[in-house]
Amino acid sequence: MEFERRIGGIGRFNLNERESRFLRGFFDLKNEDSNLTNAVHLTAPAQQTLFLEMMETLFPGIETKLYPNRIYVVTANNQNPYKIEGAERIVPLQSRLSYHPESLDLQLHLITSPLIETFSSCYVTCTLPHSYAPTCVDDIAQLLGEYQTTVPMEKITPIELRNEKEKCVYGIANIQGLSNVLRIYQRAVQMIDKAPGVVNLNRGQLDILCRDAASHENVAVRDLSQERYTTSLQKLIEQ
């Protein structure tokens, strides 16, 4: 799969002929029990083998989350909440942003144009739970991705939803860099944990500075908060 462009937190990928066939296979997976409509339970060994082969072909290095005795693939055809039109399959992933105090299980979303025999492209995102909210860890990770890595880190970006009243969803558009994102986030957490000894601020205080720099009603407080916040983060990544 070749990354073409980013649409917010969703990425558009070009497919070769073999990848197109495997992607079609995702949408051909069906339950043995016709009464199951909201999800696909891959209970048959042959289905599981095919599914894992598809994952390895399209998304090498990304592990699916295995449930007891089955692989579980959520489906929401033609009703995805994003502004990208098309059918959707959702695959739970093993990867997590483990630093977060809540469980941040990741999901892989595959979105195609209305189903046809072959696909030349598809849209993909790796979403975080609705409970996710950016913190100072995100800002440190972004700085690390810009200055201390040879491969730029994919930014966790809001996804534009059809219903603007729905809660914001965050996604990673170029999922080929997912392992790099997780690695840098772990480094960012380690740096934030050292913040009290380096900049005399803990994580909570850094988050307050971040919030005040962005939205405090007093412009002087905003400017001072932004100055100290930026300086503190720079000191952390230079240690």
178-193 helix and 219-238 helix, angle to the nearest 10 degrees: 100
State the pLDDT at residue 91. Answer: 92
Segment holding 14, helix H or strand E: strand 10-14
What per-residue confidence (pLDDT) applies to 149? 63
| Stated length of the chain | 239
- Give residue 66's pLDDT: 80
Structure tokens that stand for 32 in this block:
């043995």
Q: What is the pLDDT of residue 202?
A: 94
Rounded distance, CA 135 to CA 203, Å? 9
Site of tokens 């962005």: 214
HEC assignment per residue over 35-56: CCCCEEEECCHHHHHHHHHHHH
Is residue 219 classed as helix, strand or coil in its secondary structure? helix
**Residue whose entry in the numeric block shows the structure tokens 């002929």:** 17
Calpha distance 186→208 (Å, rounded): 21
Tens place of pLDDT per residue across the chain (239 aa):
899 988 889 999 999 999 998 998 888 888 766 666 678 888 888 888 999 999 999 998 888 888 777 788 888 766 778 888 888 889 998 877 766 555 578 899 999 876 565 678 899 999 988 878 888 998 998 888 887 666 667 778 888 888 777 778 899 998 888 888 888 888 888 899 999 999 999 999 999 999 999 999 999 999 999 999 999 999 998 87
Task: Please provide residue 163's backbone torsions phi and psi, each rounded to the nearest 5 degrees.
Answer: -95, 105
200: CB partners within 8 A, 6+ apart? none
pLDDT of res. 118 = 64
156 near 128, Cβ under 8 Å? yes
> Which residues are registered as beta bridge partners of 91?
108
Q: Is residue 72 a contact partner of residue 39, using CB atoms and an 8 Å limit?
A: yes
- Tokens, residue 7: 């649409």
pLDDT at residue number 195: 94
Type of residue found at 164 = E
Euclidean distance between CA atoms 209 and 227, whole angstroms: 9
The alpha carbon torsion through 19, 22, 28, 33 (nearest 10 deg) reads: -150
Q: What is the pLDDT of residue 201?
A: 94
Parse the chain into domains and list their residue ranges: 2-175, 194-238
